[in-house]
Homo-oligomer: A and B are copies of this chain.
């Protein structure tokens, strides 16, 4: 697949609905999944048309790995966790995006995956805003 470097990056409407903006890093737009059950970041490479990891060129793939690591560190700063889960699925939303999720042995989906595990439980607005502020400070 050849990405068109002139095409404008636009966030998928479903990702936009399910998540809130945290920050723009060098490659990715970083967003928080609006699901209070799991501290969960979504990294969306700002490359129009990217669907699979290897739609990114080699420099961007290296950058993505770096930003995944940064997201892991950021999540550890705001949440106790027993494990981090990282995944690029894209079966529902095709726009390339990477999930980085802090998991605990007492979370409702453990040890299964978070994807497809029942409906999201939205944050209360004040809690969400505080978490986003913490993520911005730590990230």
Chain A interface residues toward B at CB < 8 A: 51-54, 58, 61-62, 64-66, 68-69, 72-73, 83-92, 94, 103, 110-113, 115-116
CB contacts (< 8 Å) of A85 on chain B: these are 87-91
Nearest 9 Cβ contacts at the A-B interface: A87-B87, A91-B111, A112-B116, A54-B69, A86-B88, A113-B115, A65-B65, A113-B113, A85-B89
Contact (A73, B89) CB under 8 Å given A62-B62, A65-B61, A112-B116: no
Oligomeric state, in number of copies? 2
Name, among A54, A68, A83, A91, the residue most crowded by chain B CB atoms within 10 Å (CB to CB).
A91
Across the interface, do B90 and A83 meet the contact criterion of CB distance under 8 Å?
yes
Majority SS of interface residues in chain A? mixed
Extra A-B contacts (12), CB below 8 Å, given A53-B69, A113-B116: A52-B72, A52-B84, A53-B68, A54-B69, A61-B65, A61-B66, A62-B62, A64-B65, A86-B87, A91-B113, A112-B115, A113-B115
Across the interface, do B61 and A69 meet the contact criterion of CB distance under 8 Å?
yes
**Which residue in chain B gives the minimum CB-CB distance to A110?**
B91
**Which residue in chain B gives the minimum CB-CB distance to A69?**
B54
CB distance from A114 to the nearest CB of B (A): 9
28 contacts between A and B (CB under 8 A): A52-B72, A52-B84, A53-B68, A53-B72, A53-B86, A54-B69, A54-B73, A58-B66, A61-B66, A61-B69, A64-B65, A83-B89, A83-B91, A85-B87, A85-B90, A85-B91, A86-B88, A86-B89, A87-B87, A87-B88, A87-B113, A89-B113, A91-B110, A91-B111, A91-B113, A92-B111, A112-B116, A113-B116
